[in-house]
Chains A and B, each alone.
Chain A
Amino acid sequence: MTAILKTTNLKKYFKIGNNGFLHAVDGVDIELERGTTLGVVGESGCGKSTLGRLVLGLLPATSGEIYYDGVDIMHCGNAELAECRRKTQIIFQDPYSSLNPRMSVYELISEPLVSNKAFRNKAERYARVMELMDTVGLAERFINSYPHEMDGGRRQRVGVARALALKPDFIVCDEPVSALDVSIQAQILNLLMDMQDEMNLTYMFITHDLSVVRHISNEIMVMYLGQCVERSPSKELFRNPAHPYTQALLSAIPAPVLGGFAPEKLLRGEISDPINPEPGCRFAKRCSQCGTNCVGKDVPLEEIEPGHFVACTLFTQKGGMPRNTS
């Protein structure tokens, strides 16, 4: 089975000031199979949203390669690019700001159809919009409503319908439920999973919330300051988190059970901007197990279990077994 999406050494630098470069995405490799979901997790500023926009071609990459269905989309013709664009879509975080306030639900959902001249006549287009509304669970009576007349959950359903309109293969979900209440969040997550089962969709699910991706992802990638620090099948990651950052992230999630945090597992300090970063592990400054090997040269991803990759010096010494820290 070939990968539907493959990136190698993908980089995006933003120029800051006169000679500063913000390394938003710094050498990320992705391989994503059709019908699966990759969860991309990290705190604000880790480059996860930038990564999503890079693979969709909404932002030009600084360097690296992106193959979509075997096509090198950074060096292909316009026709192929347009075809890729049609098959890749995005669902945005905030359904309020990502929907034009002056357009009705019908206009919003039909926009991708109109833009891509998907139907010759209005009646067919209307039928497709109705079908989409039915699919995402929007009642027909909302067809002439405006975004501000609806609640967050329904607005996000419009966002999902827009993404599905052109029957895409691959959808980037950029924090699609972060702006929603828990009970509504569950509705949208279920909807996304149903859509995936029905249409064999591939998702890249970007979120800051590890508990959300657990349900939807087959594989999870943890990002820190533009780099992937750990990649693993979903279950394995939760069962056996390897990177100190992943461990810290997991233990920082407040579970709805009584009992306080384990303070010894809490991270010190805060995330900084990766502007002209020095080589070495970017997490070193906050890491409680930071050693001399962690600074000075970059730490590559190593496979410690089949499919479980970690970029940490604790695992580079003895074929996957943690180094004794004492």
Chain B
Amino acid sequence: MTDIIASNTELRKKLKKKSQVAEIWRRFRKNKTAMVGLFIFVFIMLVVIFADAIVPYSVSISQKISARFISPGQDGHLFGTDNFGRDIMARIVHGSRNSLLVGLGAVVCGIVIGGLLGSVAGFYGGTVDSVIVRTLDTVMCIPLMLLVLSIVAALGASLVNVLIAMMIANVPMYARIVRAAVLSVVGQDYIEAAKACGTSNFMIILRHVIPNAIGPIIVQATMAVGTMIINAAGISFLGMGIQPPTPEWGAMLNEAKSYMINYPYTVIFPGLAIGLTALSLNLMGDGLRDALDPKLKD
């Protein structure tokens, strides 16, 4: 048996293991609601990417008083026009970039910082853990929206500042998510087994903790993006987020709320855009959870 000395390419062929990603995708694909979510999300992403090809940015901000409140479907305005005569569809298309940017950005940055804190706390335990957890718990006592709003007030209302505020305000939540995921892995026997065979802490984190903890984190993160988009819209809705005339879904609702009595469509479409985006992310997250954990299915 010892004379098997193979070349590297040969080895690679022999050690071609079944991809677990493919297995997860196979299970995910069978979940109809999750696939609907994926479909909507891909559509939205296409809109984000090809926004300029669909309609030029200038259309979304050019004001034309003579074309105020054109009903949906008339004069080539699919979703109608708003109080400044701007095409609502163009504003939704270009607003998608800002909304998704804030949502994704807040979650990604939050996960990186919170993840670091949470994994350090979860992996090392002891005093480090209790100090971090106590502090984060305290921050979580402050209502989230108020924390975000006061940070935005301190920094000044702008897209970047809303992103920063949401990121900071959500760090405790992500830290908790990551800590819980790490803790559930660290208690496992295979971590002790890895320690016993001499694997370094770094390798244990890299090869054991992360691959096993990442699943639930991805699920939670997917769903958190939806929540962040809703929260960001709420801040803009209060007039403290992204400032006009920059198109953003929440800000559109804020501008339109005075006219909703006579022109309901001005609030319906931006709201639907927010809702569908969040819905697609939630459906995907739910499907991912099931696909990652087949144990729940029986």
Contacts and interface: CB of A to CB of B under 8 A. Distances in A.
Interface of A: 56, 58, 82, 85-86, 89-90, 92, 94, 97-104, 106-107, 111-112, 114-116, 122-124, 126-127, 130-131, 134, 143-144, 146, 159, 162-163, 165-166
A100 B190 contact: yes
A122 B13 CA distance: 13
A82 B17 contact: no
B195 interface: yes
A165 B197 contact: yes
A144 B1 contact: no
B146 interface: no
A114 B194 CA distance: 11
A306 to B, nearest CB: 35
Contact of A58 (B8, B196, B203): B196
B197 A112 contact: yes
B1 A100 contact: no
Contact of B200 (A103, A115, A143): A115
B123 to A, nearest CB: 16
Nearest to A147: B190
B22 interface: no
A7 B83 CA distance: 85
A107 B207 CA distance: 10
Contacts of B15: 104, 106, 126, 143-144
Q: Report, as a range, how many residues of chain B touch the other chain.
A: 20 to 34
B193 A98 contact: yes
B134 interface: no
A58 B208 CA distance: 18
B18 interface: yes
A123 B199 contact: no
B197 A126 contact: no
30 contacts: A82-B198, A86-B198, A90-B193, A94-B189, A98-B190, A98-B192, A98-B193, A99-B193, A100-B194, A101-B212, A102-B211, A107-B17, A111-B197, A112-B197, A115-B198, A115-B199, A116-B197, A122-B8, A123-B7, A123-B8, A126-B6, A126-B11, A126-B14, A126-B15, A127-B1, A130-B1, A130-B4, A134-B1, A143-B15, A144-B16
A130 B17 CA distance: 16
Contacts of A98: 189-190, 192-193
B4 A127 contact: yes
B188 interface: yes
B198 A112 contact: yes
B148 to A, nearest CB: 36
Nearest to A135: B1
Contacts of B193: 90, 92, 98-99, 159, 162
Interface string B180-192: 0000000011101
Which of B11, B17, B190, B197 has the most chain A CB within a 10 Å cutoff? B197
Which of B8, B16, B190, B211 has the most chain A CB within a 10 Å cutoff? B190
A101 B208 CA distance: 9
A58 B5 contact: no
Contacts of B6: 123, 126
A101 B189 CA distance: 11
Nearest to A59: B192
A166 B199 CA distance: 12
Nearest to B10: A123
Given A102-B20, A106-B17, A115-B200, A58 B1 contact: no
Nearest to A162: B197
A99 to B, nearest CB: 6
Given A104-B17, A106-B15, A56 B194 contact: no
Contacts of B198: 82, 85-86, 112, 115-116, 166
A199 to B, nearest CB: 15
Given A85-B198, A127-B4, A97 B203 contact: no
B135 interface: no
B188 to A, nearest CB: 6
Nearest to B211: A102
A58 B192 contact: yes
Given A102-B20, A103-B207, A126-B4, A115 B189 contact: no
A100 B208 contact: yes
Given A100-B190, A127-B4, A144 B197 contact: no
A16 B6 CA distance: 55
Interface in B1-39: 1-8, 11, 14-18, 20
Given A97-B189, A115-B203, 15 more contacts: A58-B195, A98-B190, A100-B207, A101-B190, A101-B212, A107-B17, A112-B199, A115-B198, A122-B11, A123-B8, A126-B6, A126-B14, A130-B4, A162-B193, A166-B198
